[in-house]
């Protein structure tokens, strides 16, 4: 009985090493990652077409089946990833990537079928599958590590940016009462200026606003 337990543990460890990106992952792990990335691109390719072709349903069914298998394997090895023992199996479904996985699987299961608007929503939800690629990106893991180390600094930057947007929007809303019909339009203008986009759809007209 003990031997069987060890074998199961060893099997789950091999599965974990296969599905989780490793710096020194073997050929099988690299192949698995390549297949999953290809499946993600294949699953979102139909979104660039307005028409629905029969081949798209086949591709969607195949990729959804692969995503379900991947989700099941990750849930099976949740304790190895999270390191929280039995609690890991309950915690894993609410982790960010697990939520993305589940959301992108649902349209393929027909759980969002219904009215025309819901069908459009299905296409939008399927587009979220592109975020699954982040799991297999080494550069994304590097960026995530940097963000964790600089969380306090980045948090201060976000607070400063939000403060800038609010104050400038408030000023412009009062200086340009005829140009901005509501405060949210002023916020939109402030955000577009902060990001240097400057769409030109809303702009100040008075001398005070331009200054």
Residues 172 and 190 sit within 8 Å (Cβ to Cβ) = yes
For 105-162, how does the pLDDT look when each residue is reduced to its tens digit (9 = 90+)?
A: 876 665 444 443 444 455 555 566 666 666 666 666 677 777 778 778 878 888 888 8
Report the alpha-carbon distance of residue 205 to residue 100 in Å, rounded. Answer: 44
* CATH code for the part of the protein at 151-210: 1.10.287.70
Burial of 200 (0-12, 13-18, 19+ CB in 10 A): exposed
pTM above 0.75, yes or no: no
Domain parsing of the chain, residue ranges: 2-145, 151-210
Please list, residue by residue across 3-26, b when 16 or more beta carbons sit within 10 angstroms of its beta carbon and e when fewer do: eeeeeeeeebeeebbbbbeeeeee
Class of domain 2-145 as given by CATH: mainly alpha
């Amino acid at each position: 009985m003990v031997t069987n337990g060890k074998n199961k543990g060893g099997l789950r460890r091999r599965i974990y090493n296969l599905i989780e990106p490793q710096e020194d992952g073997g050929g099988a792990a690299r192949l698995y990652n390549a297949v999953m990335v290809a499946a993600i691109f294949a699953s979102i390719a139909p979104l660039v077409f307005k028409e629905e072709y029969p081949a798209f349903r086949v591709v969607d069914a195949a990729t959804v089946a692969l995503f379900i298998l991947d989700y099941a394997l990750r849930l099976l090895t949740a304790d190895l990833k999270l390191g929280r023992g039995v609690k890991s199996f309950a915690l894993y479904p609410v982790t960010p990537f697990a939520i993305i996985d589940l959301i992108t699987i649902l349209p393929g299961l027909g759980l969002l079928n219904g009215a025309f608007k819901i069908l459009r929503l299905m296409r939008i939800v399927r587009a979220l599958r592109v975020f699954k690629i982040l799991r297999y990106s080494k550069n994304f893991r590097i960026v995530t590590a940097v963000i964790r180390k600089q969380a306090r600094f980045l948090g201060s930057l976000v607070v400063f940016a939000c403060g800038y947007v609010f104050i400038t929007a408030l000023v412009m809303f009062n200086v340009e009462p005829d140009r901005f019909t509501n405060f949210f339009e002023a916020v939109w203008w402030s955000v577009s200026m902060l990001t240097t986009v400057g769409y030109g759809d809303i702009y100040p007209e008075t001398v005070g606003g331009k200054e």
